């Protein structure tokens, strides 16, 4: 009888043998050994049937976004000895690991593996959540995420970064005659510069950091109802700009800064964030000096026009129920209320620990 249990100190040699036999090489086994020595926060299970016949490892993966970091887990490697494959051992290992991680409050798990296998456990293409691999040559279909805590993951996107021990290997899957997937590259999605009668919307640059920080990102009143933490230092703003640059490079869309044509000063930001084919999310923030002049409506209408031009058919936006100014802008731009999400997300600048309700709005776009 096969039993799935936590790794114990006497399992080290057996785990190494399983990984070497499953992968036909020692690279994955070497990574496991290095992680065991250097990573204090890992989760390791074995399948035991009078000896180790399967192994799965989960180690920390981080996503840096808007000056904060969310830590989940990466599933890698998962191995079953060849003569015991296709007997449900891998399924038992994955299910046990996900169950324990959910109980521990882990927000997400990512995996680089076969797209025919992992969706049965609830994994989806990570790109649907605008989460991407740190390795550029990873096919879109092969990098997947299982969101365990949607509340903790609200508004979180970016590059999922594994520990440095994984650098020598590119995939965690044993070879089982699965065809190699064609590389999936991002396409040009939106223009990096848009003009309206009074405004210029453009992709941000690193030299914008000080102006962004001083005018809105560090302002407690401006950031009150935002889903990202108020920036406490200029370094946080620079981290955001690097993240934005990576989003544009990988997705062909992303954040815009809003520039006043009259004086060239920055007055806020907005965004066009791809969620899936034909679907996107948007948001906006304005410096206090720009409030009450219709700039948010003008900028958002420009983003919607650009989204339609780029092939988006439906776009979404969410806001706190008390943010009536934001609701007014959405409704002026043709967004329709589509429901309230109860206890859905944390708003870190409100000083509350519990999740808050969120208003969900959407707009259907006409393609040119």
Q: Quick: pLDDT tens for 215-263.
A: 999 999 999 999 889 999 999 999 999 888 888 887 789 999 999 999 9
**Region of poorest pLDDT, from 30-39, 199-208, 273-282:** 273-282
240 lies in some domain: yes
339 lies in some domain: yes
Judged against a pLDDT cut of 50, whether residue 182 lies above it is answered with no
The total number of structural domains that make up the chain: 2
251: exposed, middle or buried (Cβ count in 10 Å: 0-12, 13-18, 19+):
buried
Handedness of CA 146, 116, 171, 55 (dihedral sign): positive
Q: Are residues 242 and 338 in the same domain?
A: yes
- Residue 169: the pLDDT is 59
Q: Are residues 109 and 247 in the same domain?
A: no
φ, ψ for residue 88 (rounded to 5)? Answer: 85, 5
Q: Are residues 154 and 265 in the same domain?
A: no
172 lies in some domain: no
Query: What CATH number is associated with residue 47?
Result: 3.40.630.30
- Residue 345: the pLDDT is 77
321 lies in some domain: yes
Handedness of CA 90, 94, 97, 103 (dihedral sign): negative
Answer for the pair 286, 258: CB distance below 8 angstroms, yes or no.
yes
Q: Are residues 96 and 227 in the same domain?
A: no
Burial 74-92 (b: 16+ CB within 10 A, else e): bbbbbbbbeebbeeebbeb
Strand partners, 61: 72
**172 compared with 305, residue with greater pLDDT:** 305
Q: Are residues 141 and 201 in the same domain?
A: no
The β-bridge relationship of strands 68-80 and 108-112 is: parallel
Q: Are residues 158 and 16 in the same domain?
A: yes
Domain limits at 8? 3-166
Q: How confident is the model at residue 368 (pLDDT cuts 50, 70, 90)?
A: low
Give the closest residue to 82 by CA, choosing from 3, 18, 4, 25.
18
254 lies in some domain: yes
Look at the pTM and tell me if it is higher than 0.75. Answer: no
Judged against a pLDDT cut of 90, whether residue 174 lies above it is answered with no
Q: Are residues 145 and 37 in the same domain?
A: yes
Q: Are residues 197 and 293 in the same domain?
A: yes
Q: Are residues 17 and 105 in the same domain?
A: yes
Q: How confident is the model at residue 129 (pLDDT cuts 50, 70, 90)?
A: confident
Q: Are residues 355 and 289 in the same domain?
A: yes
180 lies in some domain: no
What would the pLDDT profile of 187-223 be if each residue is shown by its tens digit? Answer: 447 999 999 999 999 999 999 999 999 999 999 999 9
Q: Are residues 197 and 325 in the same domain?
A: yes
Q: Are residues 132 and 258 in the same domain?
A: no
Number of H-type helices and E-type strands within the chain = 8, 17
């Amino acid at each position: 009888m096969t039993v799935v249990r936590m790794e114990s100190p006497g399992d080290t040699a057996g785990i190494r043998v399983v990984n070497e036999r499953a992968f036909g090489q020692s690279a994955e086994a070497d990574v496991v050994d290095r992680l065991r020595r250097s990573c204090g926060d890992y989760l390791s299970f074995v399948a035991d049937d009078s000896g180790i016949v399967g192994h799965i490892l989960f180690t920390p993966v981080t996503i840096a976004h808007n000056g904060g970091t969310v830590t989940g887990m990466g599933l890698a490697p998962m191995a079953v000895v060849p003569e015991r494959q296709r007997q449900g051992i891998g399924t038992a290992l994955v299910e046990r690991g996900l169950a324990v991680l959910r109980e521990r409050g882990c927000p997400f798990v990512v995996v680089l593996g076969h797209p025919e296998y992992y969706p049965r456990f609830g994994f989806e293409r990570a790109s649907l959540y605008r989460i991407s691999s740190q390795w550029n040559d990873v096919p879109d279909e092969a990098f997947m995420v299982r969101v365990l805590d949607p509340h903790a993951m609200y508004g979180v996107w970016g590059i999922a970064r594994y520990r440095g021990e994984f650098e020598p290997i590119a995939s965690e899957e044993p070879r089982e005659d699965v065809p190699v997937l064609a590389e999936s590259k991002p396409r040009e999605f939106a223009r990096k510069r848009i003009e309206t009668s009074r405004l210029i919307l453009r992709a941000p640059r690193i030299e914008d950091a000080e102006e962004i920080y001083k005018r809105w990102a560090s302002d407690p009143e401006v950031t009150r109802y935002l889903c990202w933490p108020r920036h406490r230092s200029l370094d946080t703003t620079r981290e955001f700009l690097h993240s934005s640059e990576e989003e544009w490079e990988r997705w062909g869309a992303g954040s815009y800064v809003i520039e006043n044509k009259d004086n060239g000063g920055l007055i806020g930001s907005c965004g066009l964030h791809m969620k899936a084919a034909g679907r996107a999310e948007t948001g906006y923030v304005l410096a206090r000096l720009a409030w009450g002049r219709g700039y948010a409506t003008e900028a958002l209408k420009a983003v919607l026009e650009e989204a339609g031009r780029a092939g988006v058919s439906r776009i979404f936006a969410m806001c706190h129920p008390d943010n009536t100014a934001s609701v007014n802008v959405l409704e002026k731009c043709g967004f329709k209320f589509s429901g309230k999400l109860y206890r859905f997300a944390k708003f870190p600048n409100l000083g509350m620990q519990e999740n808050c309700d969120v208003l969900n709005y959407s707009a259907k776009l006409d393609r040119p």
